[in-house]
């Protein structure tokens, strides 16, 4: 991981760099890895990272003269159940988008690819011919040579002992061989990542887990082959199988009972270290492996390789800025680092050098985990992710391990009403309410949540709904220079008067959409900000790190102490009017304004905003008063048929309203121009990213955001489905849902501008089935905002 970064920083022009290694390169986890480089992955952006590895490993020799040991043997992953089949179809679409060759193959086609497999229970395979494996040491050395050729430095046998930040924000790194002062530091210490982080007060959410693979003696059936076998990934045995000479390497990811490693710290003196083999722990999975490859049953075991792999609570790595620290970066936590090192290096180098990457990195950003994560949550979730390595992750499924971390006071009340929970940034949030109280039957198609979600949507549209929206970030930005700071950051005009609310976007210097926030001005020097909960630390750092020397600005994060109750729908005014003396009429309390009021005797900042596109208020209040407020709203709402609703209904309704979402349609690799939100941008003032955004205005665009209707069967768009015009791929979906209020399956997509006009048609491959789509001119629901202004 570290060498991958050094190499790509050099290619980005940063060669005044040094990689400090306590022993030899690869002496941590890298040297003993099996070297597999899988293309199959259920995330678009991580798939780009994975695909880049085989690209780099196959061309490094030309650049450096060093062979990386690449074996382009291809791979087949096996599916047995209908859910796995749907998942494979979804991933097949992602791989088309990334440009990775992949084929869905029937069980009858698999023996021709791998003659030793028993495919009796196999329903489908996904064949990725460009997949393969490499020699981790050779690949690392080739990247190191490439970095050195360009002027980067590598100092071996030199342990980092300590780090301190200097007053000018540079870092002093104390090593065994002396002191280095650097503008930027990167933690790429593998299993030592948490210990290196602790030197600067960081709690790094990583737990290492021991992984073992066995190497067999020669197997006659393998010896007899005339070409190398593809790598197989088998969910039943939770194993990978790859050929090693005339034997096999078999690596099980135990689905239970795995062992953590070095939780209390790893001895600094360990090097080229292996943990003691415990092959008996693997037996249940090796038995299944023998059923899959009968030739393995009689094979002898030559070697067991057992070593630690870093895992994070969501199986992703930590790539990007460390929370709360300037110029300190993370490049650590990879569970398949031989695969991920090159791509992480490439995109992290872009981020460090240019302030922005060409892919969406939110799922990789270390700040996606907050202070809640270190400890039990990281421990339980990381082990669970290890166990689930080869299992299908269903839409809407949130694993139980490590939860709950953070519940609002309404948790028990809502749970008793059949709440189906999800975890976001540690918070428990309701997805929907199951009237039969039964857990969701997950599906890639319209599943058991479809009907109840629709009932919530219609209840809000026709009457009124109430929801706990506390899982949003909340900050007070105050002081004489607060307006100046926000004005500099926001591409949009700030609210001009007290009580005004604006939706604003904050951009990078390159014009990428970095943040989206709602800003309410309560006084000229007092602003209240709300943004997505996963952005809590990200946005906090963005705000704080942009305060200039001597400016009078305080940013206070009140996320944990503030509850939000949303009351929305045509009868919301009638409900709230029973609970407050404040005038809620349209004349006194207009749409997009906010003010302090008392509701049921509880002090609230009431914001007249509605993400679902109806008359409504968000009541921001002290979290501990939430139950009283909710009970009062329920009581007043009962005669109006009030419904509880969750995040699924909210997502449906924002799509019916054609509201774009941060992280979905609005991401850092997109400017407001492609996103079609330039009407929010105020080019008459200065803001970060203005120049780049103006320039983009005059350029030919590769893609623009469209809002469209799908001729859906039993599955709606989820996002990351490929869009085709005939055989030509012209775009990608970013999110979708069935719009119950309008009887249409709706979605957003980025498509080539030739297909962006209303009425343009194309097809979307939803679960590998081409479905027709047509671009819509305006929001499917209330395009003129009449229901918001009443």
Residue from 7, 21, 299, 650 that binds ligand FAD (CB under 6 A)?
A: 21
Rounded Cα distance, 560 and 372, in Å: 11
Residue from 9, 11, 14, 29 that binds ligand FAD (CB under 6 A)?
A: 29
The mark string for 165-194 relative to ligand FAD (x by CB under 6 A, - otherwise) is: -----------------------xxxxx--
User: Which range of residues in 27-35, 280-288, 589-597, 773-781 is near ligand FAD by CB under 6 A?
Assistant: 27-35
Using only C-alpha atoms, the chain has a radius of gyration, in whole angstroms, of 27
β-partners of residue 21 are none
Contacts of 333 (CB under 8 A, 6+ apart): 193, 204, 205, 206, 310, 311, 312, 316, 317, 318
Site for ligand FAD in 290-309 (CB under 6 A): 305, 307-309
* Closest CA relative to residue 401, chosen from 415, 387, 418, 412: 387
Is 336 a binder of ligand FAD (CB under 6 A)? yes
Compare residues 206 and 533 and give the one whose CB is closer to ligand FAD: 206
- Size of residue set near ligand FAD by CB under 6 A: 36
Length of the chain, please?
790
Structure tokens at 129: 């011919």
Q: What's the closest the beta carbon of residue 384 comes to ligand FAD, in angstroms?
A: 18
Residue from 28, 374, 616, 739 that binds ligand FAD (CB under 6 A)?
A: 28
Rounded Cα distance, 392 and 541, in Å: 35
Structure tokens at 680: 């929010």
User: Which range of residues in 30-38, 634-642, 668-676, 727-735 is near ligand FAD by CB under 6 A?
Assistant: 30-38
Q: What's the closest the beta carbon of residue 238 comes to ligand FAD, in angstroms?
A: 14
Contacts of 784 (CB under 8 A, 6+ apart): none
Site for ligand FAD in 316-335 (CB under 6 A): 332, 334-335
Angle 46-51-53 from CA coordinates, rounded to 5°: 105
Is 35 a binder of ligand FAD (CB under 6 A)? yes
β-partners of residue 163 are 173
Structure tokens at 727: 């055989």
Nearest residue to ligand FAD, by Cβ distance, number only: 28
Q: In which element (H, E) is residue 678 found? A: none
Compare residues 34 and 529 and give the one whose CB is closer to ligand FAD: 34
Site for ligand FAD in 700-759 (CB under 6 A): none
Compare residues 211 and 461 and give the one whose CB is closer to ligand FAD: 211
DSSP secondary structure string, 96-146?
HHHT---EEE-TTTHHHH-TT---TT--EEEEETT-EE--HHHHHHHHHHH
Is 20 a binder of ligand FAD (CB under 6 A)? yes
Q: What's the closest the beta carbon of residue 49 comes to ligand FAD, in angstroms?
A: 11
Q: What is the three-class DSSP state of 84? A: helix
Biggest CA–CA distance in the chain, Å, is 86
User: Which range of residues in 22-30, 399-407, 419-427, 596-604 is near ligand FAD by CB under 6 A?
Assistant: 22-30
User: Which range of residues in 32-40, 116-124, 461-469, 716-724 is near ligand FAD by CB under 6 A?
Assistant: 32-40
| Centroid of chain to Cα 414 | 27
Residue from 12, 15, 18, 23 that binds ligand FAD (CB under 6 A)?
A: 23
Is 19 a binder of ligand FAD (CB under 6 A)? no
Compare residues 93 and 252 and give the one whose CB is closer to ligand FAD: 252
Site for ligand FAD in 547-586 (CB under 6 A): none
Structure tokens at 644: 């509880």
User: Which range of residues in 337-345, 533-541, 676-684, 757-765 is near ligand FAD by CB under 6 A?
Assistant: 337-345
Is 27 a binder of ligand FAD (CB under 6 A)? yes
Is 211 a binder of ligand FAD (CB under 6 A)? yes
| Centroid of chain to Cα 63 | 33
DSSP for residue 472: E
Q: What's the closest the beta carbon of residue 223 comes to ligand FAD, in angstroms?
A: 23
Compare residues 35 and 262 and give the one whose CB is closer to ligand FAD: 35
Q: What is the three-class DSSP state of 196? A: helix
Compare residues 193 and 722 and give the one whose CB is closer to ligand FAD: 193
CB 458: neighbour CB atoms within 10 A? 15
Place of tokens 């030592």: 192
Contacts of 308 (CB under 8 A, 6+ apart): 29, 191, 208, 209, 210, 211, 261, 262, 266, 275
Is 247 a binder of ligand FAD (CB under 6 A)? no
Positions touching ligand FAD (CB under 6 A) are 1-2, 20-23, 27-30, 32-36, 159-160, 188-192, 196, 211, 213, 305, 307-309, 332, 334-339
């Amino acid at each position: 991981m570290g060498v991958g970064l050094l190499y790509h920083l050099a290619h980005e022009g940063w060669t005044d760099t040094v990689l400090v290694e306590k022993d030899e390169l690869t002496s941590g986890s890298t040297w003993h890895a099996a070297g597999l480089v899988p293309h199959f992955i259920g995330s678009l952006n991580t798939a780009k990272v994975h695909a880049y590895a085989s690209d780099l490993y196959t061309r490094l020799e030309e650049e450096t003269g060093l062979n990386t040991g690449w074996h382009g043997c291809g791979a087949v992953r096996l599916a047995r159940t209908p859910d796995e089949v749907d998942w494979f179809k979804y991933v097949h679409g992602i791989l088309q988008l990334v440009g990775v060759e992949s084929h869905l193959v029937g069980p009858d086609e698999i023996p021709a690819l791998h003659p030793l497999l028993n495919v009796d229970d196999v329903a489908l395979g996904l064949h990725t011919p460009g997949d393969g494996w490499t020699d981790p040491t050779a690949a690392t050395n080739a990247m190191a040579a490439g970095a050195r050729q360009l002027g980067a430095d590598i100092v071996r046998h030199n342990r980092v002992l300590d780090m301190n930040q200097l007053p000018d924000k540079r870092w002093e790194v104390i090593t065994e061989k002396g002191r280095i002062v650097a503008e930027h530091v990167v933690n790429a210490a593998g299993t030592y990542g948490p210990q290196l982080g602790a030197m600067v007060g960081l709690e790094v959410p990583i737990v290492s887990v021991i992984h073992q693979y066995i190497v067999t003696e020669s197997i006659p059936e393998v010896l007899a082959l005339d070409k190398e076998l593809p790598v197989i990934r088998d969910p039943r045995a939770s194993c990978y199988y790859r050929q090693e000479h005339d034997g096999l390497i078999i690596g099980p990811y135990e689905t239970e009972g795995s062992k953590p490693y070095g939780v209390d710290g790893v001895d600094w003196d360990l090097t080229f270290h292996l943990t003691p083999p415990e092959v008996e722990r693997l037996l249940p999975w090796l038995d299944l492996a023998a059923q899959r490859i009968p030739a393995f049953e009689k094979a002898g075991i030559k070697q067991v390789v057992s070593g630690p792999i870093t895992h994070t609570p969501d199986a992703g790595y930590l790539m990007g800025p460390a929370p709360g620290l300037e110029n300190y970066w993370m490049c650590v936590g990879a569970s398949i680092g031989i695969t991920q090192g090159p791509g992480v290096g490439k995109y992290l180098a872009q981020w460090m050098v240019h302030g922005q990457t060409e892919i969406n990195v939110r799922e990789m950003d270390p700040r996606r985990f907050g202070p809640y994560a270190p400890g039990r949550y990281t421990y339980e979730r990381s082990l669970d992710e290890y166990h689930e390595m080869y299992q299908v992750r269903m839409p809407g499924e949130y694993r139980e391990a490590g939860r709950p971390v953070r519940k609002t006071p309404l948790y028990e009340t809502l749970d008793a009403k059949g709440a189906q929970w999800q975890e976001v940034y540690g918070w428990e949030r309701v997805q929907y309410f199951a009237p039969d109280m039964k857990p969701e039957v997950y599906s890639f198609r319209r599943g058991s949540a479809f009907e109840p979600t629709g009932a919530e949507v219609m209840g809000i549209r026709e009457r009124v709904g109430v929801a706990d929206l506390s899982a949003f970030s909340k900050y007070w930005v105050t002081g004489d220079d607060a307006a100046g700071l926000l004005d500099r950051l926001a591409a949009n005009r700030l609210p001009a008067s007290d009580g005004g609310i604006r939706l604003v976007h904050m951009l990078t210097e390159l014009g990428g959409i970095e943040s989206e926030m709602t800003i309410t001005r309560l006084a000229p020097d007092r602003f209240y900000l709300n943004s997505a909960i996963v952005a809590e630390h990200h946005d906090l750092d963005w705000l704080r790190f942009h305060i200039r020397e001597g400016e009078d600005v305080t940013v206070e994060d009140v996320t944990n102490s503030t509850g939000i109750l949303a009351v929305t729908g045509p009868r919301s005014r009638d409900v709230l009017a029973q609970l407050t003396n404040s005038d809620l009429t349209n004349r006194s309390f207009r749409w997009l304004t906010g003010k302090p009021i008392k509701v049921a005797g509880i002090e609230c900042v009431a914001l007249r905003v509605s993400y679902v596109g109806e008359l409504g208020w968000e009541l921001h209040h002290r979290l501990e008063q939430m139950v009283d407020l909710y009970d009062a709203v329920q009581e007043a709402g009962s005669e109006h048929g009030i419904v509880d609703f969750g995040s699924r209904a909210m997502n449906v309704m924002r799509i019916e309203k054609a509201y774009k979402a941060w992280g979905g349609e609005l991401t850092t690799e997109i400017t407001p121009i492609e996103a079609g939100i330039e009407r929010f941008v105020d080019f008459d003032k200065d803001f970060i990213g203005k120049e780049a955004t103006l320039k983009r205005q005059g350029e030919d665009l590769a893609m623009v955001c469209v809002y469209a209707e799908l001729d859906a069967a039993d599955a709606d768009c989820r996002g990351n489905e490929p869009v085709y015009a005939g055989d030509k791929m012209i775009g990608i979906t970013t999110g979708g849902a069935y719009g119950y209020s309008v009887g249409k399956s709706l979605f957003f997509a980025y498509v080539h501008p030739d297909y962006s006009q209303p009425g343009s048609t194309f097809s979307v491959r939803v679960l590998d089935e081409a479905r027709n789509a047509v671009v819509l001119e305006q929001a499917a629901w209330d395009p003129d905002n009449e229901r918001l202004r009443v």
